Structure 1
C-alpha cells in the first residue's frame, strides 16, 4: 500500500510525520500524534526529556531545533515494522546557528503507533556528536 493521507498503517503514519517535519508543517506533524503522546529525546541530547501532547512536542522539540539549528532535517531511510512498533534508521543534518559547525549523525527512532496515531517515540543518537557541533 502506498502512502496516503488517510492510511492508519503504522509505517504510513510515521512517514507522514517525517514528511510534515521536513516541510516545517507543524499542524500536519501534530495530526500524526496522539493527544497523550510520550515523546522522549535521549539523555545527553540538547533537548533531553519526555514531552507530552502534540503541542508540547512541537513547541519543545521542533520549534527549538529550528531556533538553534539551520536546516535541521531528519532523513529517514530504513523502516523496520513489527505490528505497532516502527523503528526508523535515519540521519540528522544541520548547522548549529551559534557555532556554524555542521552536524551529520546517524540516529534510530522507535515509534509506537496505535489507532493511526503515534503514542510513543524514543530517540537514540550519538549525543557527543551533537554536543560537539553545538560547542564552540
Structure 2
C-alpha cells in the first residue's frame, strides 16, 4: 500500500458517517483526552446515560453536558481512565461495543479493571444515544478506602 492510499484511508475514517466508525472516533478522542474531537461525534440533542449505581449515574444532554459531566469528572477522580474497545456489533444505527475500563482512583490509589458494554445509536454521522452497562460494584470498590 502506498503512503497516499494510507492517507486516504485515514481521511475516509475521519469523515465516515458509518455508525461503527463514528463510535470508534469517540473512543479514540476519549483515550487521547481530546474533548473537542469527542464532542464532534455527538449530536446536539444527544442523550448519554451512565448506569444506575455508577458514580456518574444519570442522563446527560448536549455535547458540552456530556464532556463536562462525564469525561471531565472521570479525569478529575481517576488517573488514566480509559475505555479499551475490543468488540463491535453493528446493526443499522445500533452499535454495541464490548470494552474494558482501566484506571486508578486518585483518592484511594486502587486500580479498577472492569468489563463494560456500551450501546450507541448513531444517526447522520453523530451519536444520538448512549447507554452504559458496567459492574458498578467493582468501580465502587476501587473508590472505597
Matched, 1:26 2:29: no
- In the alignment, the residues of structure 1 paired with residue 81 and residue 132 of structure 2 have an alpha-carbon distance, to the nearest angstrom, of 15
Shift of 1:4: 1.0
- In the alignment, the residues of structure 2 paired with residue 135 and residue 9 of structure 1 have an alpha-carbon distance, to the nearest angstrom, of 40
TM-score (norm 2): 0.92
- In the alignment, the residues of structure 2 paired with residue 13 and residue 104 of structure 1 have an alpha-carbon distance, to the nearest angstrom, of 25
Give the aligned partner of residue 94 of structure 1: 103
Matched, 1:134 2:115: no
For structure 2, the 5+ residue unaligned runs are: 1-8
Flag as ranges the 4+ runs of structure 1 deviating above 4 A.
none
TM-score (norm 1): 0.98
Matched, 1:41 2:72: no
- In the alignment, the residues of structure 1 paired with residue 80 and residue 15 of structure 2 have an alpha-carbon distance, to the nearest angstrom, of 28
Which aligned pairs between 1:49-88 and structure 2 lie closer than 5 A?
A: 49-88=58-97
Give the aligned partner of residue 119 of structure 2: 110
- Give the CA RMSD over aligned residues: 1.1
- In the alignment, the residues of structure 1 paired with residue 14 and residue 109 of structure 2 have an alpha-carbon distance, to the nearest angstrom, of 37
- In the alignment, the residues of structure 1 paired with residue 119 and residue 13 of structure 2 have an alpha-carbon distance, to the nearest angstrom, of 21
- In the alignment, the residues of structure 2 paired with residue 120 and residue 102 of structure 1 have an alpha-carbon distance, to the nearest angstrom, of 29
Aligned residues: 136
Shift of 1:49: 0.1
For structure 1, the 5+ residue unaligned runs are: none
Shift of 1:135: 0.7
Q: Which has the larger radius of gyration?
A: 2
Shift of 1:98: 0.3
